[in-house]
Amino acid sequence: MNLDLLKDGNVLVIGDVVLDKYIHGNVSRVSPEAPVPVLKPQSEEMRLGGAANVASNVSSLGSKVFLQGVVGKDDNAKELKALAKDKKIKSSFVASLSPTISKLRLLASKQQLIRIDSEEEFSDQDWKSTKINFNKNISSTKATALIISDYGKGTLKDIPYLIKEAKKKGVFVLVDPKGQDFSKYKGASIITPNYSEFVTAVGKVSSDSDLTKKAKKLLSDLKLQALLITRGSEGMTLIQKNKSGIKRDDFPTEAQDVFDVSGAGDTVIASLASAISSGFDLANSVKLANIAAGIVVGKSGTATPTLSELKNSFYSQDNLSKAEVKKLCQQSQKDSMKVVFTNGCFDVLHAGHVTYLQAAKKLGDKLVVGLNSDSSVKKLKGKQRPINSLEERMTILKALGCVDWVVPFTEETPLNLIKYLKPNVLVKGADYKTEDIVGSNFVLKNKGEVKTIPLVEGLSTTKKIQKIKNDPS
């Protein structure tokens, strides 16, 4: 799969747009008035939520996206529109007398304390205006995929109408369903309920075979092309029609660390739509969506995966450019993670190297290894080095669980690479003094840290090579 083809996708998103607000702070005491924590605010953050987060996910993957919804005549609407513009999302919003839907979350140390929702029912007139806009947008945008993002907030008063009009134009229709009655999604191309929503719609599922049976019946009853059930730690199950009948495929979860599942469903349907709109088949589109969901659940709040992050998970690290690693570092830092950088030749990898890299990883969240190219190793170590080529050394390093990204550099020192990546923590062996470490001044000036790690005595590549030469047997 060539993920760069996602740039060819063209998706229309319609549904309940939400402004997500986050107030981050610290809790150090309990209120004397009631047994509740007292939050001391430190920062405030605004993000796109609901259908707007779906559109943001599509945009982050590089596909074209047009967002349609209903907002109020208020400051939240202005904020939402500005965020959409910043994310390169084209949009068309009906201005309602009801307020813009918003959710305020109060967090301490990334843990959510409470959520405050602000919403009111939209009017029939809002729906009439929405229909007029939809009929215009489904033609003018030339979208090949439509996402109906139903959060049950009242924007979508006649979903069968939207499905019918989209199908008339040959548009692939994806629905993220809500509620107990799935009949309103009849005729869609695919719906993407989570397991709980699926059980609510079809009744208790007694076994894995019963899941398949009920999924097939739902597929038939709603005249769907496919049904994708997201199942948390159990991954995803795709039931689809093909030439030989109905086929089931299971996709194990790609999530490594689950921090926050907010918006994971948005990521699934957005990735699915982007891939299908770009020409990928359904199975590969689900594979892509599964990887994307695994990325966002490791982040805080409603979040989006980047194309670089997808490539990092989907491809081997050999295919990541220096620019893509920089984007991954920036995204990690945006998610309050520490990026650690170290460098070396790492020729003839031994236990000392592994111990050192494991200790380096513990100093932060992501570890980047700057790796000397073959030519720079020769300049530093002599004409007989390296023993292993750059490609071989990269393959070995990236197989280590503690190493996130490997970036080769051709210069004798990694100074330019350090300035380019801007890590939070710079690490070298304890045989260096802090002031002698290349890049230390730059990192410290950027409010970063410079650390040294004790080396394992008696272990070095030079000694290993000399031992082999002295005792070739």
Catalytic residue list = 266
| Distance (Å, whole) CA 356 – CA 159 | 57
Token digits of residue 125: 């007139």
**What is the H or E stretch that residue 84 is in?**
helix 75-86
Do 267 and 304 form a contact (C-beta atoms < 8 A)?
yes
| Distance (Å, whole) CA 438 – CA 432 | 10
Query: 406: which residues sit within 8 A by CB, 6+ positions away?
Result: 317, 368, 369, 371, 394, 397, 398
| Distance (Å, whole) CA 236 – CA 230 | 5
| Distance (Å, whole) CA 57 – CA 149 | 13
Q: For residue 16, which of 65, 70, 61 has the smallest C-alpha distance?
A: 70
User: Helical H runs in 335-401?
Assistant: 351-361, 374-381, 390-398
Distance between terminal CA atoms of the chain? 46
Task: Determine the angle formed by the axes of helices 51-60 and 264-277, rounding to 10 degrees.
Answer: 50
Sequence letter at residue 323: A
Q: Which residue has the tokens 């739509």?
A: 273
Query: 151: which residues sit within 8 A by CB, 6+ positions away?
Result: 15, 16, 18, 50, 51, 178
- Alpha carbon 357 to its chain centroid, in Å, reads 26
Query: 88: which residues sit within 8 A by CB, 6+ positions away?
Result: 59
Token digits of residue 67: 């967002």
| Distance (Å, whole) CA 241 – CA 250 | 15
Q: Residues 174-200, buried b or exposed e (16+ Cβ, 10 A)?
A: bbbbbeeebebbebbbbbbbbbebbeb
